[in-house]
Structure 1
Amino acid sequence: MGSLLIKFSFEENELESSQNLSIQCVNEFVCKVENLEEILEKNPHPEQLNLTIHAKFVGVTHLNVSLGKSGSDTSYKLRLLRSDWEHTKAKLFIISLVIFIPFITFLMGTQLELKKILELWKKPIGPCTGMLCQFGIMPLVSYSMAKFILTDEDVSIRLALFAAGTCPGGGKSSFWTIIWGGNLDLSISMTFSQHIAALVMMPIWIGTLGKEFSTKDVQIPYFDIIKGLIALMIPTIAGMIFITYKQHLYVKIQKWIKRIAWVATFFFMAIMIYSNFYIFFLLSWKMVFCACFLPWSGYFIALIVTTIFRMNYADKITIALETGIQHISIAVVIMIWSLPEPEVDLAVAILLVGMLMTDKPLVVLYGIVKLYKRCMKKEKTEKVTSIDEKKKLPPPRSELEHQKPAENA
């Protein structure tokens, strides 16, 4: 990563012996003191000490300085940031998100019909159940994991996980709803209504339980959260207005949403890993577990709740997908706006894992289903072919001999 030079000055007789001096980074994975022993060998009683600290990785740690007999112990906080090249890669990833998210949000907006949304809300069992799962249960799940599982992690990581749990449904939920035969009208109307509800619900959750993960370095920008959510609503409304005058493009756009979503799934996974490769060195097994468990638990929680309410298959699958596939990019934006470096790097690490892993069980399950259907289709084709071949075969010799007397008669 680089190195930094630290200069120490000692008062007269403060450093009685070089053996009493100890200077070390608390977390040697983040940084390491390099040349202390060499300097003290050359000059056992220095009045000044120019010390080189090798910055190995991003993070926050402390440099402990102990003078032994004098009983003087001092701790200096070190904040180690990414290199310029790492910054450039991260910016490219953020720019691609800034371009893609409004674009796909615009396309999703074209699938919305105000009439259908209003009809759904006349009997709002589906949307209200989705709201209950999304803003009533998921924040409590993320809070519990942040508080009781990520106890050893930095406060910014816990805040990021909790913020992810308060995000509305969205992202690729409509795409997966189409794939699994869900209720597309319900999916899109839930995405729309939940983004509006998020203007109130996210600040409420982050302003109450989220305060537990807030410090002087981690301040929550409530106004920026609301401003960002409003900014995401603009392309949605633009899409609704556009399709009003271009109704003939509705089906074509729906097909393109599926294609773009498939491409985006693998493209953004590749670019995310490349531009943020450092995150794999920041991750602990607890962070990976929580990042995966949060969205995956959303699928099962919603299925349980919708089963209790005796909903049909299409609505069950739609609400489950909407609950599990949260709009985590909103949490990413919030962390970027609210946290300084390197806290923002730590926070984004767990969110990127969540974004990567949210729909991977769905991809695997979809592949298994497709493979099963293909095998069943092949087996059925082989059976039909064998029956046709049997029909074409001449009758057995015994049958022919049996038929000959009848013919002679």
Structure 2
Amino acid sequence: MMRMGVLLLAFMLIVGQLALPAESWQAHFKPASLHLQMETSAEVELHLWDIPSELGSSANRYSFRLISDDPHLASVAPENATIPLHATLNSWTGRIRIDGHFLGEARISVRLWDAWTNRSSQSANNSDSSQLVAQVLRPERIIDHVFVGSIILLMSLVYINFGAALNVEVLQGLITRPVGPCIGFITQVLGMPLLSYALGIFVFPESPAMQLGLFFTGIAPSGGASNTWSAVLNANINLSVLMTTVSNVAAFGTMPLWIFTLGQLIFERAGMQVPYGKIATYCGSLIVPLFIGLAIQRCLPRVAHWLVRLLKPISACLILFIVIFAIVTNFYLFQLFSWQIAVAGLCLPLLGYTIAWLAAKLLNQNAADALTIAIETGIQNTGIAIFFLRTTLPQPQADLTTVVPVSVAIMTPLPLMGIYLYQRLRRVKLGVEELPGSERQRIV
């Protein structure tokens, strides 16, 4: 028995030697929250006190280390990552450099490191200042403003061409017999929000932020690119412009309705302001160039005929410009891309196209009108979605959630490009260079 007692005592002494000292020391960051831009650095002050004397007497064994919970976003500079101990000091104060790498939020904490056991422990002090919250933001760039300005200019030119190409008599017929617009309105205003909500829960079950990004994309009105694709794919431009206009005007009521009903389930914060001015500006930017084009059609018919001939080339160039420039200006977001984001970005427009086309065909719409309704339903105004996210969420969460509408914007043209290639190959196979007269009359 005595021998067993001696062995137990020896074991306890060894464990005591290996155990970390009491976590009575404390850490304090000043400031406790730091905002810095990507690929930049900033310094904060760190104060350590109540350091036990036994730590200083074993300086070759113990040290303090600063550890980031996500070094991909923010990390401590290598020269500041380890703080050695001194036998005569029970406190330490110094400047720590934090390096910001990518969008997001990282928490940096101080841990006591034991080189003998390769273990670490955190201070018992759990105050807000015991950890540093480093939020990495995206810097404002001139290229972002250039991109927006270029899009506004090019879209204005395209809508002038649309106005010159509109057949007013056909447009009046669509208003008096609004079967097609009604189908598109229901699939756009009712179907897409429900689809985006269900898809968000299925694809992002553990990420409400990404669900929010997808839902805001689904409740946005149809985008101006739908008119462009309608021209490129030989659909009904008159119906397309009418549906786009109705969708954007209705967005004044439908967007807040969805946000404060179904949206509350994934976005619990109330009192969110709807950007009425933004929607009004978009509607105005759509209607004004159309009226300019209509005026050209009435007063300068020869110029209008020339503009109509340029409609498809300009529309195709606009699509390429938007896709390429969007990728270049938002290239940093590709680091956030995952298979879930890619799937969500593709499935939302693809399912929208499919459901709307099936609904139109079931209700006896002709091929051109069914294609137009599908295009109008599947193409969302991702700019409005991004605006909503950036005005309702703090940074960097606002930028992080915009990866979803950016993904949708990039993936949206893919099914339409497939249709375009199919049409081109079919024309080559049949030896047809121009559209049939009945379809061409929908454009001219």
What TM-score range do you get, normalising by the shorter chain?
A: 0.7 to 0.9
Q: 2:365 aligns with which of 311, 314, 317?
A: 311
Deviation at 1:280, TM superposition (A): 0.8
Which residue of structure 2 aligns with residue 287 of structure 1? 341
* Aligned partner of 1:41 among 64, 84, 88: 84
SS at the partner of 1:278? Answer: helix
Residues 238-273 of structure 1, C-alpha deviation per residue, up to 9 Å, x if partnerless?
A: 234334432214443333332222112222222222
TM-score, L = length of structure 1: 0.80
CA–CA separation in structure 2 for the residues paired with 1:314 and 1:183: 6
Q: 8 Å contact 1:110–1:239 — kept in the other structure? A: no
Q: How many residues align?
A: 372
Question: Following the alignment from structure 1 to structure 2, what is the Cα–Cα distance between the partners of residues 338 and 109?
Answer: 35
Q: Does 1:252 align with 2:306?
A: yes
Aligned residue among 244, 248, 258 for 1:205: 258
The match for 2:421 among 359, 367, 379 is: 367
Match of 1:135 among 189, 197, 214: 189
Q: Secondary structure at the match of 1:10?
A: strand
Query: Which one of 77, 83, 108 corresponds to residue 63 of structure 1?
Result: 108
Give the C-alpha shift of residue 360 in structure 1.
2.0
Question: Does the Cα contact within 8 Å between 1:150 and 1:158 map onto a contact in 2?
Answer: yes
- Partner deviation per Cα, 1:102-125 (whole Å, 9 max, x = no partner): 443454455556664453233322
Q: For 1:111 and 1:334, locate their aligned partners in 2 and report how far apart those are by CA, in whole Å.
A: 33
Counterpart of 1:246 in 2: which secondary structure?
helix
The SS at the match of 2:149 is: helix
- Structure 2 residue 385 is matched with structure 1 residue 342: no
Q: Report what 1:233 is aligned to.
A: 283
Q: Distance in 1 between matches of 2:68 and 2:404?
A: 24
AA aligned to 1:286 is: Q
Which residue number in structure 2 is paired with residue 32 of structure 1? 75
1:38–1:293 CA distance, 2 compared to 1 (3 A): closer
1:12 and 2:65 aligned: no
Is the 8 Å Cα contact of residues 208 and 266 (structure 2) preserved in structure 1?
no
1:158 aligns with 2:211: yes
Structure 1 residue aligned with 2:32: none
Q: How does 1:261-280 map to 2 (within 5 A)?
A: 261-280=315-334
Question: Hey, what's the Cα distance between the residues in 2 that align with 1:69 and 1:124?
Answer: 68
* Structure with a larger share of its residues in strand: 2
Cα distance between partner residues in 2 of 1:227 and 1:286: 33
From 387, 391, 415, the counterpart of 1:333: 387
More helix by share: 1
1:32/1:53 contact within 8 Å kept:
yes
Contact 1:66 1:72 in 2 (8 A): no
Provide runs of 4+ in structure 1 moved above 6 Å: none
Percent of paired sites with the same residue: 25
CA contact (8 A) 1:325 1:358 kept: yes
Aligned partner of 1:190 in structure 2 is 243
- For normalisation by structure 2, the TM-score amounts to 0.74
Q: Which stretch of structure 1 is more off in the superposition, 23-32 or 136-145? A: 23-32
In 2, Cα distance between the equivalents of 1:335 and 1:277? 19
> 1:134-170: per-residue Cα shift (whole Å, max 9, x none)?
0111111111222332234462x43222111112223
AA aligned opposite 1:78? A
CA contact (8 A) 1:109 1:236 kept: no
The answer to whether 1:77 aligns with 2:133 is yes
In structure 1, runs of 5+ residues without a counterpart are 379-409
Q: Is the 8 A contact 2:235 2:368 kept in 1?
A: yes
Determine the C-alpha separation between the residues in 2 that align with 1:2 and 1:283: 23
Deviations 1:2-54 (A, max 9, x none): 22222121233379748484532222211122337764236586522432222
Q: Distance in 2 between matches of 1:179 and 1:107?
A: 13
Q: Distance in 1 between matches of 2:63 and 2:262?
A: 46
Unaligned runs of 5+ in 2: 1-38, 113-120, 433-444
